[in-house]
Chains A and B, each alone.
Chain A
Amino acid sequence: MPNPIPTSTILELIVRNHPGTMSHITGLFARRAFNLEAIVVVPLPDTETSRILLYLANEPKLEQVGRQLAKLHDVLSVRHRTDLSPEIFSQLINQIPSAPCNTF
């Protein structure tokens, strides 16, 4: 029998960088009732692709999430980054200095 699948992980996607890609990915999570805790997107320099890190906490359908993401035309690859810890998301947000800004 296969090993039990962990329910929380970080997925790394390489995607086509054009308008609509983010909608496809976030829309998939909303539509299939998957949980998405955190998301970071950065364009990869000198390419037409972007790298996305998704943090999925307590997602019992993890395998299904990965397979559905892989089916999206704009998603070029999906990897489980078991080597990364979710702290990278909180570290990232904590590095952003708070500053007084005009609100709309």
Chain B
Amino acid sequence: MQRPAPLVILKDVHLTLSSAAGAVNILSGVSLDIGPGEAVALLGPSGSGKSSLLMVAAGLESVTSGEVVLSGKEITRLGEDALARFRRSKVGIVFQSFHLIPTMTALENVAVPLELAGKKNAFNRAKAELDAVGLSHRVDHYPSQLSGGEQQRVALARAMAPEPAVLFADEPTGNLDTATGEEIANLLFALRARSRTTLFLVTHEESLARRCGRIIRLKDGRIVADEPHLALAKA
């Protein structure tokens, strides 16, 4: 059987950022392919470049050199606005700090990407997504009226609402207590399983990473290991 074309391709990606103390190499020649429906965990110590790699792959950050192809489109040379338009339908992102818009209700937060994408039934779909994360009773609440776990559920609903090709999650349980983190992780994997969306998960928790089919380890901006998770691979 022919292997389907990869959904995310990074070829020899370098990222150098300037800071007050001088140029800092964040990523040094990272190459990887992620196939459709894969769940990939990116593990590594603090400062290894995990979040930067996620940003590059999600089209949030421009690379210094190398090539990034996402969902069949080379995004390396796209401008800021073209990238934004591309993300509307192809990419969903969940942040460690939730990043909900404080002036909007939960429903409106979830509807925003749909509205940006010009979807007519944005609010109906947003409502359905909130139902799916168990927050149908909180639709009109503002972020400040929600707990951390609830905020991250809204963020998950928002990320999944446009039915993205890839869901990027940056330490989604990092700001939550153990129990709530567990709930969010369960929800994340449940939603992914339902939609068969490709998942790119940045974490420093081995246990969370083990729920993915593939684990990539990063150190000092380089991939030091890229292997299928045995338990799942065997399964």
Are A and B subunits of one complex?
Answer: no
Binding site for B on A (CB under 8 A): none
Identify the B interface with A (CB < 8 A).
none
